[in-house]
Structure 1
Amino acid sequence: MFDWEDLRHFLAVGRVGTLSGAARELKVDHATISRRLASLERDLQVRLVERLPRACRLTDVGSHVFTLAQALQDDAFAIERAVRASQSPLAGKVSLSVPPVLVASFLAQHLTEFRRRFPAIQLSVAGQAQQVSLSRREADIAVRLVRPTEAGSVVRKLGTMAFALYASRSYEALTHPERWEFVAYDARFEDMPQQKWLRSLAGKRAIACELSDINSHHAAVRAGAGVGGLPCFLGDADETLLRVADEEPSFARDIWLVVHRDLKSTGPVRAAMDFLVEVMKRNAAFNGASVRR
């Protein structure tokens, strides 16, 4: 009989397509993935993966085993969710995956309040821009800026995050829009909605620098590096910044809350979800009031 852990590592290789990528996903080293894969192939006495120079490709039998193994894993996670859903006391750990800007500049300041209300619930918050799988228990709750479509999930709109242009009050070209230079994202994010919005406003004006995350944009704008597109809840709260006028309308992204349907009624998960909804509603910056139409 094969080892389930070997199968779990094989599934990661099948999903990601590389040994190194599977290692990052499972937070182990490359050698562990290779050893687990070899062990599974030895136990099953069949080649499951073709190891190419820069990728891994499933063999025909490997593809069939991957489909069966994925169903096994889904069933295992369903059992775990069912057990959690049956535990009604407001105690335990709830894991959240949230965009980094909402963790550092919004949610973190409410953690003390949550702890006072629910002292037996521990929130484990990961600042992640990428999608996570709720069915694979990579998180109990996810907050996203794109409406999630994962099967088996329940989705609710939390609010709207408005963006506007900001500059340091000491920015040298503050009163000369034709001389503005902009803080933008790098080429990996060209298809991101706020990058398209910012570049449309910048037009032919120069890009002063490119940074990969919104918190770095905030720091660069504060330092006077240029004009940046920031969430209004972040920019308006910073007294060193000024929201600068432009002929174009402001831009906004919807904020979505998603949870697996098997966990939505679990006491700790329900408490965390309701708290997120409440603190979002209390902040006017997330109710659309900051968007100039």
Structure 2
Amino acid sequence: MENWDDLKFVLAMMRHGTMSAAARYLNTNVATVSRRLERMALSLDTPLFEKRGQNFVATEAARRLSALAEEVDQKLRAELSSLHAGDFSAPVPLELAAPPAVHAHYLVPRLTALSEHLPHVLLTLTDKVFAQGLGEADIQIRIGRPEGGRLKARKFRDYALRVFHAEDKPLGNEWIGLSHRYPDSDYLTRIHPAAQQMPRYRVEEMPMLYEAVRATGLPGLLPDFMVVEGDGLVQADLPDNGLPDELWITYHETRHGDVTLRAVVDWLCRTST
């Protein structure tokens, strides 16, 4: 294979799922993505992606090549970081993916402290609700411990989803839920059986749900780390009001020797309580 650069197009398709999304990430156009994938498929004499309806499905060859490209990508990032190990004047960009609630109520309030501790780190925060892999991120905070794959994982913190409502408003049967793209969108009814079958409102992300509960006083199922003293919310007086879960912080195993990445992970875990 002469055109090693084509591997990044396979990896982008695996990460993003469509040619248009891959093209946006690679700062090119769909025609170029299609041409480069076709060139690689011809050179290998095997198909990489099969069109099924509106979607592209990766073949075994594409999955194996993308795994190779992923490892090369992560090793390259680690090597570039190690070139400046100990040189705190050289900026090191890192991308951290996490659910919006973690960003809003944990990471964003601590950005200044992190910058003071590691001033050379240029951090990009990316929303990722569902834990479908690192993607372009260097570090990911995700719900639940990863199973399989080549990821290093550390417990970030325990939490529970609990029903909260306004402290000056009695618990009623109307409520606010997340959109149906979340698997736990209607879990509130498990804890609050008297709640109506359908919510009064649906919103797209957990931070918006938190703000909607505060604004309306209606109950909503929120991570307990989001609710703090003085925000006007109380935990509903319901038996077994809590669905326990865990947040884990992960990164590719090839980055374990990356001094800067490890320093960020250590600081985040150390200050997670």
Which TM-score band (shorter chain)? 0.7 to 0.9
Corresponding position of 1:183? 176
8 Å Cα contact 2:82-2:259 kept in structure 1: no
8 Å Cα contact 1:85-1:262 kept in structure 2: no
8 Å Cα contact 1:90-1:118 kept in structure 2: no
- Structure 2 counterpart of 1:199, one-letter code: T
The percentage of aligned residue pairs carrying the same residue is: 25
1:154-169 superposed matches below 5 A: 154-169=152-167
* Distance in 1 between residues matched to 2:153 and 2:246, nearest whole Å: 12
* Distance in 2 between residues matched to 1:104 and 1:244, nearest whole Å: 23
**Does 1:89 find its partner at 2:56?**
no
**Does 1:200 find its partner at 2:198?**
no
* Distance in 1 between residues matched to 2:161 and 2:63, nearest whole Å: 42
**SS in structure 2 of the partner of residue 187 of structure 1:** coil
1:1-293 superposed matches below 5 A: 2-13=2-13, 18-20=18-20, 22-23=22-23, 26=26, 29-41=29-41, 49-56=49-56, 63-64=60-61, 66=62, 69-70=65-66, 72-77=68-73, 79-81=75-77, 83-84=79-80, 86-87=82-83, 88-89=85-86, 91=88, 92-131=92-131, 133-134=133-134, 138-170=136-168, 174-175=169-170, 177=171, 179-189=172-182, 191-192=183-184, 195=185, 197-206=187-196, 207-224=199-216, 226-281=218-273
* Distance in 1 between residues matched to 2:25 and 2:190, nearest whole Å: 36
Deviations, residues 173-213 of structure 1 (Å, cap 9, x unaligned): x33x4x33111122222x33xx4541212325222112221
TM-score, structure 1 as length reference? 0.76
- Structure 2 counterpart of 1:101, one-letter code: A
8 Å Cα contact 1:90-1:268 kept in structure 2: no
* Distance in 2 between residues matched to 1:36 and 1:53, nearest whole Å: 21
Q: Which has the larger radius of gyration?
A: 1
C-alpha displacement of 1:123: 2.0
C-alpha displacement of 1:42: 6.2
Check 1:151–1:252 CA distance in 2 against 1; reply closer, same or farther (3 A cut).
Answer: same
Check 1:93–1:50 CA distance in 2 against 1; reply closer, same or farther (3 A cut).
Answer: closer
8 Å Cα contact 2:94-2:138 kept in structure 1: yes
Corresponding position of 1:286? none
TM-score, structure 2 as length reference? 0.80
8 Å Cα contact 1:97-1:143 kept in structure 2: yes
C-alpha displacement of 1:257: 1.5
Unaligned 5+ segments in structure 1 are 282-293
C-alpha displacement of 1:13: 3.8
* Distance in 2 between residues matched to 1:227 and 1:28, nearest whole Å: 45
Unaligned 5+ segments in structure 2 are none
- Structure 1 counterpart of 2:142, one-letter code: R
